[in-house]
């Protein structure tokens, strides 16, 4: 099953630049002037969509919102090491993200950032063999 996470944005060009700076690969075949499709994994994609384009889809009125009203969702994903989490955070900060808290539980290391549109992300590393990671 393919999963597409859609984010309405005010500025598609800025959003594409931000996610490219994070190191994500854009799927050009699924991107245009109003949409940017970024590959998270073989079957998982992050879509940045202009508010006008998303408003064309029926039943999305409450999801489109207005400028400065990101959805109340946190996108979290596991990375292979603490160093990878820190490297991603450095790229996010350099690309214009607002950097938030760091949580270190020993078996799990998690950091927070908001993209330029205000969407919240929480990349983390967790020790695979720790009972709390199961």
Compute CA distances 36 → 12, 23, 27, 90, whole Å: 7, 14, 8, 22
- In the chain, the percentage of residues whose pLDDT exceeds 70 is 84
| CA–CA separation, 72 and 88 (whole Å) | 22
At 65, the pLDDT band (50, 70, 90 cuts) reads low
Report, as an integer, the average pLDDT of 111-121.
89
CB under 8 Å to 126, separation ≥6 — which residues? 78, 107, 108, 109, 132, 133
The domains of the chain are located at 1-52, 73-134
CATH 3.10.180.10, domain 73-134, yes or no: yes
State pTM to two decimals. Answer: 0.76
Between residues 108 and 86, the one the model is more confident about: 86
By DSSP bridging, strand 108-114 and strand 98-104 are antiparallel
| CA–CA separation, 105 and 129 (whole Å) | 14
| CA–CA separation, 77 and 59 (whole Å) | 28
Same CATH topology for 1-52 and 73-134: the answer is yes
CATH classification number, 1-52, choose in 3.10.180.10, 3.40.120.10, 3.40.309.10, 3.40.980.10 = 3.10.180.10
Report, as an integer, the average pLDDT of 43-48.
92
């Amino acid at each position: 099953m393919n999963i597409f996470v859609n984010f309405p944005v005010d500025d598609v060009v800025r959003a594409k630049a931000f996610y490219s700076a994070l190191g994500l690969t854009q799927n050009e075949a699924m991107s245009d002037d109003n949409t940017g499709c970024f590959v998270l994994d073989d079957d998982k994609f992050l879509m940045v969509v202009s508010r006008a384009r998303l408003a064309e889809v029926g039943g999305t009125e409450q999801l489109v919102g207005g400028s400065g009203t990101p959805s109340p969702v946190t996108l979290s994903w596991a990375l292979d090491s603490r160093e990878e989490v820190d490297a991603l955070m450095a790229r996010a900060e350099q690309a214009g993200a607002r950097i938030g808290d760091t949580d270190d539980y020993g078996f799990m290391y998690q950091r927070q950032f908001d993209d330029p549109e205000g969407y919240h992300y929480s990349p983390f590393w967790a020790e695979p063999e720790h009972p709390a990671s199961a």
